Structure 1
Amino acid sequence: MSDRARLRARAKRLGLLTALATLPAMAGVMFTAGSASAHGAPLVPGSRTYLCYAHSLDETGALNPTNPACKAAMETSGANGFYNWFAVLRSDGGGRTEGFVPDGELCSGGATVYDFSGFDLPREDWPVTHLTAGETYEVQYNNWAHHPGSIRMYITNDSYDPTQPLTWDNLEDVPFDEATDPPAEGGPGTDEGHYYWDATMPSDVSGRHIIYMVWERSDSEETFYSCSDVVFDGGDGEVTVPGQGTLTADELADAAAAVEENTPAVDHATDHATSADHATAAEHAAHAGPAAPTASTAVFDAVRTALPGWLR
C-alpha cells in the first residue's frame, strides 16, 4: 500500500470510529432542515465544537452532553454553538490573528454571530485526539460551504497550561503547516464532506497541546478559527471523550448493523448554502435561521459503505 493510500485508510478509519461512537445516540434520528450556511471546522483532529456536538446528541436528536467540558460549554453559551459547530468565524477577519482576536477568546474566534464563549473555558477534560510527534497525518477540515483559501496550523508552546485561558503568547509564532486550496472529498452541506491534506506534526512536542487552525478565505475577508485539543503520547488519532465509555469492535458492528436495518433513507435538505459569500455578520445571522439539528444522515451511508472493509 502506498503512503498516500495508508494515510487515507487511517483517516477513514479514524473518521468512522468517531462517527460510530455517536451512533447509539444518533440511531433513529431523522435530521431536519436547518438553513445554516457557514462553513467549516476541523474533523481530524476534531475541533472542540465538532467533537462536543458529535458526542452530545441523544437518541431523540436533542443535545445532552455527558462530557464535563462540553456540558460546561453548553451551560455557558447555550446550544447554538453546538448546532453551528462549523461557524466559528469573523466576517471581517481578513486572516488576522493576534491583536484582532482577544486573548482568552481564541477558541471562539471572538465570533459575533453565535455565542461560542463556552468553548474558551480553560479545562483539562475536553475531548482529545491522541497523536505522535513527528508523524504525518491526513488532516480533514469540514467543507460545509466551499471556499477557496489557506488553512494555517499552529501549535501551543511550552507555556500552554490547559487550566488557564488560551492566549496568543501560548502559541508558536509560525504555523507548522499550511494548506492552500486543498482537495475535497464529499459534498458541501454535509457533516462528513471535507478538505484533506497531509500534515507532519512537530517533532519536539509532548503531552497536552492545542492545534489552532486559521482558515483565511481568498475571496473575502471571512476567517475561521478553531481549537483542536490533542495529546502527543504515541497515539494514532484515537479520540478520548472524558465522561463517556468506549465501544468494542463487536458493539461497533452491532450499532452499524442496527443503523443499516432500522434507519430509513432520508434525503438531505436542499436549502444549505454551499458557496454564498456572506460578507457581514448580519448576513450570517439572516441566513443561519433557527438552531436545529443539522447532522447528516450521510454519516450512516458512510458507515454502511466502509464498515465491512475495515472490520473484516
Structure 2
Amino acid sequence: MEMMQAVTNLNERTETLQKKWMYNLGILFLIIVGSILVAGSASAHGYVEGSRGDLCTQGVNTNCSNVIPADTEHPGTFPQSGAEDGKIPSAGRPYAVLDEQSSSRWYKHNFQSGYHEFHWIIPAQHISDNYKYYITKPDWNPNQPLTRDSFDLTPFCSVDDKGKSPGNPTHGCVIPERSGYHVILALWQVDYTGNTFYSVIDANFNGTNPDPGPGTDPGTDPGTDPGTDPGTDPGTDPGTNPGSDLSLLNAGFESGNINGWTAWQPAGQSAKYGVDGSDVHGGSKKLWFWNSSGYQQSVHQVKTGLANGSYTVKAWIKQSTGAPNIARMEASGYGGSPVYVNVAHGSSYQQYTATVNVTNGQLDIGFYIQANGGDANLQIDDVELIKN
C-alpha cells in the first residue's frame, strides 16, 4: 500500500514538474519572439525619400502596407554580393511584395535625364561608407523580376562617405539618358558592418533636365559649381557670394502648412504635426509637434547652392508640455558631422542656434522629437540661416 502511494506521489510530482517546464518553455518562447521582433524593428535604418517602399507607407503604392522602407538591409557589397537576383528591392527582407515587378505595378515619378537630387531619410544614424546609384539598362524588361542583368552595373553616381555620420544627406547626381519607365537602385553601405540598405525608385523619363554647369561633380558637389547660378562670380569671397541665397522656404510657416519642408515619422505612425495660429512667436503661424501618447516626429529642409563655409541656423522653439526623451534642432552640412542642439523644457520661446560647416554646398535643417509618454510638444517658429 505504501509502495502504491509512493508511486502515485511520484507521478503527481512528475506531472507538476512537466507543467512547470512547459510553462517556463512558453515564457522562454515569448521572450525569444519578443527579442526577434525588437531586433527587427531596431534594424530600420535608412531609405530614399519617394522610393517604392516609402510610397507604400504613404498609401500611394497599394497592397504593400506591411513594408518598412528603412528595413531593406542585406550583408555584402552589391553587385559582387548582397541581395540575390529577384529580391533586390526587398533586399531579401520579409517584404517580398516590393519584388513584384511589372510595367504597371508601381507609381512612377516623372523624371528627366540630367541633374537630379536624391534625399535620404536615416532614422538610425550609422557611420557611412558610401552611396551608389544604378539605373536599369535601356533595353531592360519591366515585366520581369529585377536582377543584376536588369541594371547598368556601372553606378551613374557615387558618394564616398567613409567614417562620417550621415545625417539625412541629399546627393546631386546626373542621370544618364533614358526614356520611358526605368528603375533607379540607390544603395547606402554602412562603414563598420558592411551591410547595405536598398531603395528602388520607379521613374518615368519624359525629357532632359538643364545641365547643372560645366565642372560639376554630380556625385559629390552639385551645389557649389559656379555654372549652376549665372549670377555667381566664382572669384568673389564666398561670404559675399551673390549666388548663395540664404532664404529658407516657408521659414515662419506663414503659408499655413509645411510647404518647403519634409516630414518624417516612423512607418505605421500617422503624422503628429501641424501649423496653426495660436501661441506664435512671430507672424501669424507656427509649426507644432504633439500627441497624447508616445511618438516620434521630425520636419526638415535641405538648402542647396550654398558657398562652402560656416553657417549658423537660428530658430525660436518652445517645449512646454510633457517630457520628451529627445527634443532638438538638427543641422547637418553634408560632408561633416551633424550638430544636435537639445531644447530645454520651459514656458516661453527661446532662440536656439546651431553652427555647422558646409563642405559640399548643402545644409539639412531639421527639428526632431521622440517621446515615450503623452502630451509632449514642440513648437517652432522663425527659422533663419546666416553665413558666418
Structure 2 length-normalised TM:
0.44
Q: Distance in 1 between matches of 2:379 and 2:201?
A: 23
SS of the residue corresponding to residue 49 of structure 1 reads helix
User: For residues 166 and 264 of structure 1, do their structure 2 counterparts lie closer, same or farther at Cα, with a shift above 3 Å needed?
Assistant: same
Which residue of 21, 41, 49 maps to 2:47? 41
Which residue of 238, 246, 259 maps to 2:274? 259
Residue in 1 that maps onto 2:183: 210
Q: Distance in 1 between matches of 2:258 and 2:108?
A: 24
Q: Distance in 2 between matches of 1:98 and 1:126?
A: 27
User: For residues 217 and 183 of structure 1, do their structure 2 counterparts lie closer, same or farther at Cα, with a shift above 3 Å needed?
Assistant: closer
State whether structure 2 residue 174 is matched by structure 1 residue 200.
yes
Structure 1 length-normalised TM:
0.53
1:42-64 CA distance string (max 9 Å, x none): 11xx21111221x22xxxxxxxx
Deviation at 1:102, TM superposition (A): 2.0
8 A contact 1:98–1:168 mirrored in 2: no
Deviation at 1:38, TM superposition (A): 2.6
8 A contact 2:288–2:379 mirrored in 1: no
Deviation at 1:305, TM superposition (A): 7.1
Higher RCO (Cα < 8 Å, 6 or more apart): 1
State whether structure 2 residue 150 is matched by structure 1 residue 170.
yes
The structure number with the bigger radius of gyration is: 2
User: For residues 35 and 264 of structure 1, do their structure 2 counterparts lie closer, same or farther at Cα, with a shift above 3 Å needed?
Assistant: farther
1:137-174 CA distance string (max 9 Å, x none): 22211122222110110000023232221111110021
Gaps of at least 5 residues in structure 2 are 1-39, 210-254, 260-272, 279-286, 297-323, 327-367, 371-377, 384-388
Residue in 1 that maps onto 2:196: 223
Q: Distance in 1 between matches of 2:181 and 2:116?
A: 18
Q: Distance in 1 between matches of 2:170 and 2:56?
A: 21
State whether structure 2 residue 156 is matched by structure 1 residue 156.
no
Residue in 2 that maps onto 1:9: none
State whether structure 2 residue 124 is matched by structure 1 residue 145.
yes
User: For residues 153 and 305 of structure 1, do their structure 2 counterparts lie closer, same or farther at Cα, with a shift above 3 Å needed?
Assistant: farther
8 A contact 1:87–1:224 mirrored in 2: yes
8 A contact 2:110–2:206 mirrored in 1: yes
Deviation at 1:86, TM superposition (A): 0.8
User: For residues 270 and 222 of structure 1, do their structure 2 counterparts lie closer, same or farther at Cα, with a shift above 3 Å needed?
Assistant: farther
Q: Distance in 2 between matches of 1:106 and 1:158?
A: 19
User: For residues 160 and 172 of structure 1, do their structure 2 counterparts lie closer, same or farther at Cα, with a shift above 3 Å needed?
Assistant: same
Give the counterpart letter for 2:95 in structure 1: F
Give the counterpart letter for 2:79 in structure 1: T
Residue in 1 that maps onto 2:84: 102
8 A contact 1:160–1:166 mirrored in 2: no
Higher helix share: 1
Deviation at 1:219, TM superposition (A): 1.5
Percent identity of equivalent pairs: 25
The 5 Å alignment of 1:4-83 reads 36-43=42-49, 46-53=50-57, 55-56=58-59, 67=60, 70-74=61-65, 79=66, 81=67
Q: Distance in 2 between matches of 1:297 and 1:230?
A: 33
State whether structure 2 residue 205 is matched by structure 1 residue 232.
yes
1:99-138 CA distance string (max 9 Å, x none): 5422211101112xxx11101111324122222112x122
Q: Distance in 2 between matches of 1:302 and 1:142?
A: 22
8 A contact 1:149–1:218 mirrored in 2: yes
User: For residues 148 and 183 of structure 1, do their structure 2 counterparts lie closer, same or farther at Cα, with a shift above 3 Å needed?
Assistant: closer
Residue in 1 that maps onto 2:250: none
Let me know the Cα RMSD of the aligned residues.
Answer: 3.9
Deviation at 1:221, TM superposition (A): 2.2
SS of the residue corresponding to residue 162 of structure 1 reads coil
User: For residues 201 and 183 of structure 1, do their structure 2 counterparts lie closer, same or farther at Cα, with a shift above 3 Å needed?
Assistant: farther
Gaps of at least 5 residues in structure 1 are 1-33, 57-66, 237-252, 272-295, 307-312
User: For residues 221 and 122 of structure 1, do their structure 2 counterparts lie closer, same or farther at Cα, with a shift above 3 Å needed?
Assistant: same
Deviation at 1:37, TM superposition (A): 4.7
8 A contact 2:85–2:147 mirrored in 1: yes
Q: Distance in 2 between matches of 1:182 and 1:99?
A: 20
Q: Distance in 2 between matches of 1:259 and 1:138?
A: 26
SS of the residue corresponding to residue 113 of structure 2 reads coil
